[in-house]
Amino acid sequence: MNRVRKLLGTKYPIVQGGMAWVATADLAAAVSNAGGLGIIGAGHAPGDWVLGQIRRMRELTDKPFGVNVMLMSPAVQDVVAVVVAERVPVVTTGAGSPGPYMEALKSGGCKVIPVVASVVLARRLERMGADAIIAEGCEAGGHIGEVSTLALVPQVVDAVAVPVIAAGGIADGRGIAAVLMLGAEGVQLGTRFICTTECEAHINYKEAIVGAGERDAVVCGSSIGHPVRALKNQLTREIAALERQGASDEELQRLGAGRLRLAFEQGDVRNGSLMAGQSAGLIKDVRPTRDLMAALVEQTERCLGRPLWKD
């Protein structure tokens, strides 16, 4: 049996990215109910917000789900305490190494699946007890590494014995089939799941993704060591100009603060941070999660020439 389906307890080896603000219980429950693994994105939110989302999740689904712990958040310790106390089945992590929290999460019974952008961190986290690894290429949206999915995934597959889930640049069944060929046993999609009816992001954010082409998801913040991919707009132009002038970390962080919320809640597509991956160019519609999952599975199976859930 496919090790990712077995580990997650899902019908399909398809995971929804735990995107800050965007991945609320409503989206995550829709994904879990459609046979994937829905993930609540904790982002910078406090522990009590995450607790509320976990409770809502349990009202909306009896299927397995996860929480993404964003390791740069000031609330990370509280969030870890909440997911352990609530015995959340799966925890993914992002934007750092979950090493310091590994023991607490494992002893709380959580399956821990870190997102990594390098082989070296994948190896280290496997030694620390990671149950699987999400290898995320730099085509992804949000905070990213430097290596592309096509190159990163097989190198991580060769380096670790635990199952690998591929992420970054995948938005349809062709992409899913392709990364399975690279040795991944599961996939994670983020940007594609923003463009669903259940996602609570502002419609302007969703429509900006639908309208985007292949060169519109650009990287800002590399000069301060925090590269973030988002759709090109007034904000990314201002950040790029400041970076060219050699602005300090504080100046750039001040400019970026609160911008994801502005995009998500107000639909401000000029001044908000429209985090999205390069797969935005592949996304042509906003549709119900159930229909999307059915189309993803159908197209993957057509590419593979076999069912995605019978192995």
Residues that bind ligand TUI (CB under 6 A): 20, 43, 70, 94-97, 115-117, 121, 136, 142-145, 226, 228, 256, 260, 275
In the complex, the smallest distance separating the C-beta of residue 22 from ligand TUI, rounded to whole angstroms, is 10
CA 18 to the chain's CA centroid: 4
Q: Please tell me the distance from the alpha carbon of residue 156 to that of residue 119, in angstroms, as a whole number.
A: 5
**Among residues 7 and 165, whose Cβ is nearest to ligand TUI?**
165
Residue 167 or 303 having the CB closest to ligand TUI = 167
The nearest distance, CB 288 to ligand TUI, in angstroms, is 25
Number of neighbours of residue 200 by Cβ within 10 angstroms: 14
Nearer to ligand TUI, 100 or 288 (CB): 100
Which one, of 222, 210, 208, lies nearest residue 273 by Cα? 208
Q: How far is the CB of 218 from ligand TUI (least distance, A)?
A: 14
Task: Identify which of residues 171 and 303 has a Cβ nearer to ligand TUI in the complex.
Answer: 171
Q: Which is nearer to ligand TUI, 70 or 274 (CB)?
A: 70
Distances in whole angstroms, Cα of residue 235 to Cα of each of 43, 147, 254: 20, 25, 12
37 contacts 92 by C-beta, under 8 angstroms: no
Least distance from C-beta 141 to ligand TUI, angstroms? Answer: 7
In angstroms, what is the minimal distance from the CB of 197 to ligand TUI? 23
| C-beta of 7 vs 125, nearer to ligand TUI | 125
Which residues does 211 contact at the CB level (< 8 Å), separation at least 6?
none
Position 92, amino acid: T
Closest distance of CB 68 from ligand TUI, Å: 8
Residue whose C-beta lies closest to ligand TUI: 142
